[in-house]
Chains A and B, each alone.
Chain A
């Protein structure tokens, strides 16, 4: 048997003993493996890991001048969508659990509606930050985390309630723990709010949305 130069498909040569059935089986299995591999590559591109969550009720209020993790349990977020191949991780930290261990471009974002629970400090600022901590090794104790942040800042002008969004795009070589890497937490995404509404504490309202998805694969 010889093989084709590009896709390595086998075929009988002139001096091979003739066995038509076996020759067809070998070719069929080679074509099957070839198509299966290509289909798998397309599925990786098509079935992007995605998760989206929405807050179902107003969250616990937090004080001014405190960089507060709004995904840390203060606000009740409920899953709106989680792609079938990526079982939902802990939305409390928007970690990359289930998003795959292959290097990739990820986008994490939040649309947040906030309002004071009492008096409003007119013109006070509100800062929304989306942060990613990217480890430099897929180990339990990486020697370094690279921090990336996207943010948006607004000032109160709307009788208390304000609408803002921010989205972060990163490339990480280690989004989720490869099999067998005990204790490796992968890349961590967090959303923080900071405000200066000194007249009362602030809360995240129902209807806020957070999202995280694999935008593209990369080879590193």
Chain B
């Protein structure tokens, strides 16, 4: 009956036979521990991250004082299959975990009068961050950005960019970005 270390690496006790099986047991146990170590390394070093954008393209007009969801046409990067703009061009789809997210828009154009513009980060039922620009302190319609932490508990959660502007007429939104990076899993490794 071999002994074992805290990680479960088996070795023969003094007086027990040392044979080929002894070496195979130890080698197999070392490999299992190294696999755990490699998995930890992958989690630490291969952070899921994705960025989608709307480079140089005007999104179809959004009416004033109405919430809208931004659509995108460019995947800037995607390390974990989080986006598929051919199927859903308005979202990054994430799984359970804590995610850092950022949204931004360069400007809006085409409106008649401007009072404010606002961008935000949403998942179904929740707003995680918003920020606005106004015509009193800023006076110009952009750029505007918001970032924050998003707590996701369900697989396949859509993370989207909410947009809204105040004024008259309809506005086109220019050069928007939606980016995410996983901070950690919900449970400890």
Binding site for B on A (CB under 8 A): 19-22, 24-25, 27-29, 31-32, 35-36, 38-39, 42-43, 45-48, 50, 52, 80-81, 83-85, 109, 111, 113, 123, 125, 152-158, 162-165, 167, 207, 209, 211, 213
Contacts and interface: CB of A to CB of B under 8 A. Distances in A.
B62 to A, nearest CB: 16
Contacts of B3: 25
Interface stretch (B15-23, B69-77, B82-90): B15-23
Nearest to B118: A163
Interface stretch (B50-58, B104-112, B145-153, B171-179): B145-153
22 contacts: A20-B18, A21-B22, A24-B18, A25-B12, A28-B10, A28-B11, A29-B9, A35-B7, A39-B37, A39-B40, A43-B189, A46-B189, A47-B184, A47-B188, A50-B184, A52-B149, A153-B137, A157-B166, A165-B129, A165-B130, A207-B126, A209-B149
Q: Which of B4, B37, B146, B184 has the most CB of A within 10 A?
A: B184
Contacts of B120: 163
A43 B138 CA distance: 44
Contact of A164 (B11, B44, B132): B132
A48 B149 CA distance: 13
Contact of A80 (B14, B37, B151, B166): B151
Contacts of B63: none
B26 interface: yes
B187 interface: yes
Q: Which of A21, A83, A156 has the most CB of B within 10 A?
A: A21
A47 B43 CA distance: 10
B9 A163 contact: no
Nearest to A43: B189
A24 B14 CA distance: 10
Interface string B130-166: 1111111110000000111101000000000000001
A42 B43 CA distance: 9
Contact of B149 (A22, A158, A211): A211
Contacts of A111: 127-131, 146, 148
